[in-house]
Structure formats: structure tokens, C-alpha cells
């Protein structure tokens, strides 16, 4: 894509009320637009990153037999009254609205209830189990404070998967498969090295659960990470019981700040019982279905990658989720047609191999502005094209993460991208 | 995909309050789930169809230089007060909600205002124009009545594109490009032959606009279609002025029912003026940006395809948007391992060529049930595999739309799919 055609531009300053490093950089680089506190629109570059994260998660959810659906935001109060979660005293972050006839509706913060109702139509027998259902869907959460940019959104895309099994043994098996899938996801998006499966409270769901916590000073959570990295425990449940379970003492742990980038819960029959989701076993006897839920907030995950990998110059994207693979920065375009044809040949040869190229062809930006913008946007590889590098048939190649500079022609660039 | 693993099942009856043929068939075939009036969740088969429609529309929007974004549902009242559209007396289908501090928020029914605000950050000069921005995003519309299934949703995915040009001449050029793109979309999804660009009222936007109207008795709109099909006029603007413009008389027209599957509007400076979206021309003089908007409701489009192509047996999908390409219906699976290996070979040879196969491997369904379900689900090609067809090395091939039966091996099936 030609950068002169891209409708977004970088900016020097983020809004003054924005304090999170991730939100500041994403706004300055033109990836997102702040509509209001906790509410961000995705602009073309941000949407490209989000779509790549979606593809990675979808691949891993399909690999553990997930079937994709798309449920609605608007929620029927009667359904949530059955489970006891309609009351604002029970769930304190509902957004609620009304039909013309004054019927109250909710905006979904999660989907246990509606999916359980859907599954009642399809699950009758043990032969219908297990089933695993997921979606990428917009959640609404009426957070009292939303000062952390995309790290705590009032509206955000979420991947939520729900498991339906005949007993806790099958739930346990899937729970471990889900945990493994989550690890693959964090590895793929570039934060696996600082993300730990963490023993945590079950919140409204169950006594215990697990969170995936990414170490960063920007984190709102406090966790205790074993010095040998073998165990992580959320502060909420960092007590004698947990220490005994893991056969550790307080001396074995460091206190660190972290961001929760995913969570997995064993729900048991908490929703299937009140909502009447049962199955008949081989003898015809009915049992409530055993459930689990598994969530990843996409906006928070994207922002966490920025918190962990971004530097003082701007965003630093891992290859797998970068908005483009290569940033071709053309110096002094138009003035020198020799350079332009050299650039054209380079871009064609990259795009023919499926490489996604952002081409900075702007004629109204200086070399310095182009390099600064390129650092801010954070595409993994920058290829600088000037009359000098065209003449030498060796483009300057800059690795965004390390800053390492090398030289090479199109063939060498392609080789290093493989 | 193995049908025995798919979590949805067909059902004999649709909910009694459902009257639209499209909603009845989509529910019975397990493509959608009715959450409440006008609010439908997409189940795996329905989501596959919707995703294919999204891909077709995305391709055509990119082809006319659209840049994709994803804006938010939650809306800031101040922004909409500036344009005069916050008041429920002006826009009668707002859903509104509140933050914890009692600040009112809206749920977007459209995105002229927020995108205009975004573009103020990026458009300053004539050199920044034209720009075309689109999204696939969930719209909320508080419809008084929602009795037509997916044809009139209270929550639905919409493609909305907005054009930003320096003058009406550039708007007119893009308006025609958008109209041509829309025709390609309706052709691709299988309703091009009964869809007409229709002269229509501009609603709240402008004096006139164009709708794309698909002929079907299920339509809520009345249009006048010229007997030679050269002109279509919505009843709202079927008057002497329109007839004079098209040099026709009432004798030239038939009155027909139709569904509006898209609309295109010339907005002019209606939003750019109050919101202050201007650009500097070559002389430095500022002008308001000239805008247009271009919408397609995905749920309605999907349901319209069903209204037009569905028959008494069920859904009938065109190839381009079918949930799968081929429905392999295996008779008496498990009892006969010879058939099973024959099925396996067939499916492998199809999937290796990128063909998407739904394999009815259910052991608890009769041949009659399988054929009825296959007709209901509506995959374009059914391949029946039995001990007889395996022995003869000629599978029975049934074309869903025509009912035409033929016989062939995997190679012949592949050839007919190309």
C-alpha cells in the first residue's frame, strides 16, 4: 500500500488525558482513535494488527475443536434473571438500554447465559458431548474508571470460548488443552516469554481459576512469580493454602506487576443447572452439563504487546501481527525517476511472494520525518531506497527491534523474511 | 467437517412467532438462533455464509479504494448534538444507555458523525482528498416493530462506506463507482438478476438517493419497475417530477414488492459543515468536504438471498456464499467399512483441491432424514455415497437448485466444481 494514500497520519502528541504508553503510541502512530474514555475505534493499521491476532486465535481455537459462532450484544433480562446475574448489585458493569415499549435490555459483558440457552436446543444426549463453541464478539463493560487506554475498555472485541462436557474429568482434559492453546497464542503474538499461567481467584464463577499474566510495569495486577518461574500466583489468592499446594514458601517468590491477557474458568454446573441444560446418559438418566469458559480481550492483548515491546521511538511489532511485513521508505521520490523504477521493481518482487509492503512514497516528508514515522509505526523491517542504494543495487535494511542495519537486494530481503 | 461433530441440528418447526420465510428456514436449518424479536445470533453455518458475504463485499470495497476501519457502537452525545441528530424526535430509533456517572451514551445506528470527527484529524488539504473509508460493524436500531426476522433487525452487521471528496464532481464519480461495485456484489451473492438500482427519497440526508431493491413478495417496499427494466422508482418518489425526469408515463411501469438491500446517498456538506471538516484548496481557501454514504445490511442481504432462492424444501445457496461447497451424504455409515474408505478417499481428494466439504456421517439418521436435512441446509452440490455407488465407482450427484441428478467419480465432481 502507498503511504500517501493511507488516510491516517502520525502525530506528535497523544491526547493529554491519555496516560498509558500503549494508548499514546497507538494514537500517535494512527492505529486507533479515542472516541471517549475506554472506547477506541480501530483505524486501518490497528485493524490490520487486530485481524492478524484474530487469525492466530481462530487457528488455535479450531485446533482444539472450537466451532465459531457470533452472538448478539442485546440481552434478554429474563434469561439473566434465571441465573441471578441481571441485578446491578450482582454484576456491577452492565450497560442497560430499553426498547420503545420500555422493556429493559442488557448489553452483553459475557455470554454464558445466552450460549447455554442456545445449547439447550442442540444438546440432549451424552452423544452430543463434548462441544466447544467460541466467538469474536464485542463486549460492553460499564467500568467506573477507564483510564488505562485499551488495557481496560468499555467496549472491546473479545474471544470467548465455552466448553460443554459430560463430567469434570472431560472438563479437566479440555481445560488443559485450552491452556496449551493459550500459550501458543501468546508465543505467536510475541509476549510468550513474559506471560505466565497464574493461579487466581474464580471471581463470580468458581473458587479458583487461572489467568495468563504478562509481566510489565504497566500492569494493574500484582502477582507473585516464583524465582525459578515455575509458579505464578495472583495476589488475591497468595495465601498459605496456595503456598502449601505448590510446596513453596514466600521466600521463593518475587512480587511483580502484570496485565491479565486471558483467563480460563471451570464453571461446573453453575449455569447449566439454573438454565436447565442437561443431557441423558447411557441409561437415560439426566445430568446437568459441565461447563468452562475461556476468554481473551483483543484490545487488551494488542495493547499489552505494545507495552512489552514498544520502545522510546514507537511501536515494535512482531512479524506475525505487524500491519505490514516491510516498510519501504523511499527518499526523495518523484524528483528522481531512476529511484522510482528501482522501488517499483523491489515492491513487485516482494508482493509477488505474498509479502505485505507499506511504501512511503510521500513527497512532502523529509528523510528525517520518514525515519521517525517508520520507527513510530513499527513495521519489523525497513528497507531504505535512495539513489545511492539503487545505484549500488544494495538497499539499506533496518531491523526495527534491534536497530541493526544491513544491506541487500530483493532476493536477500526475501530470504531473510522466510 | 463431519456433520456428527457440528453442534447444530435441523429442526422440524420454527418458533411460532416467526413469520418470514427466510427466518423460518434459517432457524430450522440451524443457521441462526432467535435471541428475541429482531435479534439473531449466527450459528456456525450461518456465520460461514455471512463471512463469505463479508469477503465479497470487502473485495469490492477495496477495489474502489476503500480503506477498512472498525468504529465503536458507544457514541458521545455531544458529537451528535452538533449535527442535530441526538434528539429522539429527529432520529427515532436510538438505543441509549448510561455510564455509571449518569452520562448518557448512544448505540450507533450509523457513523457519519464519528467518522467525520476522525477525518478532521487527517484531512487538512486538497492533497488529502479523495478518501474512502468503510467498515463491517454492528448497528443498533430500536425498531418499533421487528416482525420480519433478519429482514429488519434491531442489531445487525452492516457494511457502511463513507466518501470524502473535494467537490460534487468527485462525489458524482465515486457515487457511480460505488453503484457499479454494488451491482457486482448482488451478482456475486446470487440476486443480481432481480435487483434494481432504484430512484428513492433521500430520507433525512438529501432530496434523492438510490436504493438497490430486490424483487420478492416478502418485500416491505413498493417500487415501480419499468416494463423494459430500464428504470425503477420507489413509491415514495413515484410522482410527475420523477416520471418527467425519466421520460416515462405511469403506463410504462409495474408495481412490485421489493426488499431494499443497499442504499447510496449523496450527503454533500450536511455533516462536514456543522462538524467543521474542511480542507484548504490550492490557494489556501477553506471549504467543507463533500461526503457520501453507502450501506449494505448483511443480515438483510443474507435473508433476501433466502427469500429469493429458497424453495419448499429449504435453503438454496449460490456457490459463492454456500456454507460448504459439497454435501457428502453417506448412507449407512459404520455398518459398511468399504463405504467408509470410499468416502474418505472422495473427501480427501476434494479437500486437497480446496473444496469445502460437509460430511453427513451420522449413524443415527435414516437416508430419508439425511436427504431432507441436506435439502434444508441447501449446499449447492450433494454427493450421495452408498455401497452401490462405491462399487460402481460413480457417486450420485444432485444439484440442489435444479434437483438434476447425475453420476460421476471424484475427478468429474472436481471438474464440475471449477
User: Which residues make Cβ contacts (< 8 Å) with residue B291, sequence separation at least 6?
Assistant: B112, B116, B162, B163, B164, B165, B171, B267, B268, B269, B270, B271, B272
Does A161 score more than 80 pLDDT? yes
Kindly report the nearest CA distance between residue B408 and chain A, in angstroms: 32
Q: What Å distances lie between residue A392 and A53, A327, A340, A342, A396, CA to CA? A: 38, 20, 15, 11, 10
Residues of B in contact with A95 (CB under 8 A): 97-98, 105
Kindly report the nearest CA distance between residue A123 and chain B, in angstroms: 8
- φ, ψ of residue A287 in degrees (nearest 5): -135, 150
Q: What CA–CA distance (Å, rounded) separates B353 from B121?
A: 47
Smallest Cβ–Cβ distance between A100 and the set B67, B138, B142 belongs to B142
Do the Cβ atoms of A287 and A279 come closer than 8 Å? yes
pLDDT at B384: 95
CB contact under 8 A, B138 and A138: yes
CB contact under 8 A, B140 and A364: no
Does A418 score more than 90 pLDDT? no
Do the Cβ atoms of A44 and A50 come closer than 8 Å? no
**pLDDT band at residue B286 using 50, 70 and 90 as cut-offs:** very high
Q: What CA–CA distance (Å, rounded) separates A210 from A189?
A: 20
Do the Cβ atoms of B98 and A88 come closer than 8 Å? no
Kindly report the nearest CA distance between residue B68 and chain A, in angstroms: 6
B21-309: CATH class: alpha beta
Residues of B in contact with A76 (CB under 8 A): 35-36
Does B336 score more than 80 pLDDT? no
Question: What value does the mean pLDDT take over residues B46-70?
Answer: 98
**pLDDT band at residue B335 using 50, 70 and 90 as cut-offs:** low
| Mutate which: B14, B35, B277, vs A, most A CBs within 10 A | B35
Question: What value does the mean pLDDT take over residues A95-109?
Answer: 97
Smallest Cβ–Cβ distance between B47 and the set A35, A69, A73 belongs to A69
User: Which residues make Cβ contacts (< 8 Å) with residue A287, sequence separation at least 6?
Assistant: A166, A278, A279, A281
Do the Cβ atoms of A315 and A374 come closer than 8 Å? no
Q: What CA–CA distance (Å, rounded) separates B28 from B313?
A: 11
Kindly report the nearest CA distance between residue B274 and chain A, in angstroms: 18
Q: What Å distances lie between residue A105 and A110, A116, A203, B18, B74, CA to CA? A: 14, 18, 24, 21, 15
Return the residue of B nearest to A14 by Cα: B121
Residues of A in contact with B100 (CB under 8 A): 142, 144
Residues of B in contact with A96 (CB under 8 A): 97-98
Q: What CA–CA distance (Å, rounded) separates B302 from A315?
A: 39
First to last CA, chain B: 21
**pLDDT band at residue A205 using 50, 70 and 90 as cut-offs:** low
SS3 percent helix, strand, coil of chain B, rounded to 5, is 35, 30, 35
**pLDDT band at residue B342 using 50, 70 and 90 as cut-offs:** confident
Which residue, B1, B20, B341, B277, is CA-closest to B149? B20
Instruction: Quote the strand ranges of A283-411, DSSP E.
Output: 286-288, 290-297, 326-330, 357-360, 381-385, 395-399, 405-408
Residue of B333 and B261 predicted with greater confidence: B261
pLDDT at A335: 61
Does B380 score more than 70 pLDDT? yes
Please write the tens of the pLDDT for every residue from A103-155: 999 999 999 999 999 999 999 999 999 999 999 999 999 999 898 999 999 99
User: Which residues make Cβ contacts (< 8 Å) with residue B374, sequence separation at least 6?
Assistant: B327, B329, B360, B382, B400
Q: Is the dihedral of CA A89, A91, A97, A102 positive or negative?
A: negative
Look up the ipTM and state it.
0.97
pTM for the structure as a whole: 0.97
CATH number (3.90.1150.10, 3.40.50.800, 2.40.110.10, 3.40.50.2020) of A324-417 reads: 3.40.50.800
Domains of chain A, residue spans: 21-309, 324-417
Do the Cβ atoms of B52 and B94 come closer than 8 Å? no
pLDDT at B387: 82
DSSP secondary structure string, A119-143? Answer: HHTT--BGGG--EEEEEEEEEE---
Do the Cβ atoms of B193 and B229 come closer than 8 Å? no
**Angle value at C-alpha A360, between A357 and A366, nearest 5 degrees:** 155
Residues of B in contact with A30 (CB under 8 A): 122
pLDDT at A204: 61
Q: What CA–CA distance (Å, rounded) separates B97 from B101?
A: 12
Q: Is the dihedral of CA B38, B40, B46, B51 positive or negative?
A: positive
Q: What is the 3-state secondary structure (H, E, C) of A25-53?
A: HHHHCCCEEEEECCEEEECHHHHHHHHHH
Which residue, B201, B174, B190, is CA-closest to B294? B174
Question: What value does the mean pLDDT take over residues A239-266?
Answer: 96
| Mutate which: A30, A37, A40, A43, vs B, most B CBs within 10 A | A43
CB pairs under 8 A between A and B: 131
- φ, ψ of residue A40 in degrees (nearest 5): -125, 130
Does A339 score more than 70 pLDDT? no
Please write the tens of the pLDDT for every residue from B84-122: 999 999 999 999 999 999 999 999 999 999 999 999 999
β-pairing verdict for B405-408 and B221-226: unpaired
Smallest Cβ–Cβ distance between A97 and the set B11, B97, B114 belongs to B97
Smallest Cβ–Cβ distance between B47 and the set A68, A72, A122 belongs to A68
Amino acid at each position: 500500500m502507498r503511504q500517501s494514500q493511507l488516510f491516517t497520519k502520525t502525530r506528535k502528541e497523544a491526547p493529554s488525558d491519555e496516560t498509558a504508553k500503549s494508548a499514546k503510541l497507538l494514537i500517535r502512530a494512527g492505529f486507533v482513535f479515542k472516541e471517549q474514555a475506554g472506547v477506541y475505534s480501530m483505524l486501518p493499521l490497528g485493524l490490520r494488527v487486530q485481524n492478524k491476532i484474530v487469525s492466530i486465535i481462530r487457528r488455535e481455537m479450531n485446533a482444539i475443536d472450537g466451532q465459531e459462532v457470533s452472538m448478539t450484544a442485546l440481552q434478554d433480562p429474563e434469561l439473566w434473571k434465571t441465573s441471578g446475574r441481571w441485578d446491578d448489585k450482582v454484576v456491577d458493569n452492565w450497560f442497560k438500554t430499553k426498547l420503545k415499549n420500555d422493556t429493559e435490555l442488557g448489553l452483553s459483558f459475557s455470554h454464558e447465559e445466552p450460549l447455554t440457552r442456545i445449547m439447550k436446543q442442540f444438546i440432549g444426549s451424552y452423544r452430543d458431548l463434548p462441544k466447544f463453541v467460541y466467538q469474536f464478539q464485542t463486549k460492553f463493560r460499564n467500568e467506573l474508571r477507564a483510564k488505562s487506554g485499551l488495557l481496560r475498555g468499555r467496549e472491546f472485541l473479545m474471544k470467548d470460548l465455552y466448553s460443554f462436557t459430560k463430567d469434570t474429568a472431560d472438563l479437566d482434559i479440555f481445560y488443559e488443552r485450552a491452556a496449551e492453546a493459550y500459550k501458543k497464542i501468546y508465543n505467536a503474538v510475541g509476549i510468550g516469554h513474559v506471560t505466565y499461567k497464574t493461579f487466581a481467584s474464580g471471581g463470580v464463577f468458581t473458587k479458583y481459576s487461572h489467568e495468563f499474566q504478562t509481566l510489565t510495569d504497566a500492569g494493574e495486577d500484582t502477582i507473585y512469580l516464583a524465582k525459578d518461574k515455575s509458579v505464578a500466583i495472583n495476589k488475591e489468592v497468595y495465601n498459605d493454602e496456595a503456598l502449601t499446594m505448590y510446596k513453596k514458601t514466600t521466600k521463593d517468590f518475587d512480587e511483580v506487576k502484570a496485565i491479565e491477557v486471558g483467563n480460563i474458568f471451570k464453571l461446573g454446573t453453575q449455569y447449566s443447572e439454573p438454565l436447565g441444560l442437561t443431557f441423558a446418559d447411557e441409561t437415560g438418566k439426566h445430568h446437568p452439563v459441565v461447563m468452562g469458559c475461556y476468554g481473551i480481550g483483543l484490545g487488551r492483548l494488542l495493547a499489552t504487546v505494545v507495552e512489552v515491546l514498544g520502545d522510546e521511538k514507537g511501536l515494535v511489532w512482531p512479524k506475525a501481527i505487524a500491519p505490514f511485513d516491510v516498510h519501504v521508505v523511499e527518499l526523495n521520490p518523484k524528483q528522481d525517476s531512476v529511484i522510482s523504477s528501482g522501488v517499483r521493481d523491489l515492491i513487485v518482487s516482494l508482493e509477488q511472494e505474498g509479502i505485505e509492503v507499506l511504501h512511503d512514497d510521500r513527497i512532502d516528508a523529509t528523510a528525517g520525518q520518514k525515519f521517525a514515522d517508520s520507527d513510530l509505526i513499527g513495521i519489523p523491517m525497513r528497507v531504505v531506497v535512495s539513489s545511492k542504494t539503487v545505484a549500488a543495487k544494495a538497499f539499506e535494511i533496518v531491523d526495527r527491534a534491534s536497530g541493526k542495519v544491513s544491506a541487500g537486494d530483493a532476493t536477500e530481503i526475501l530470504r531473510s523474511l522466510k
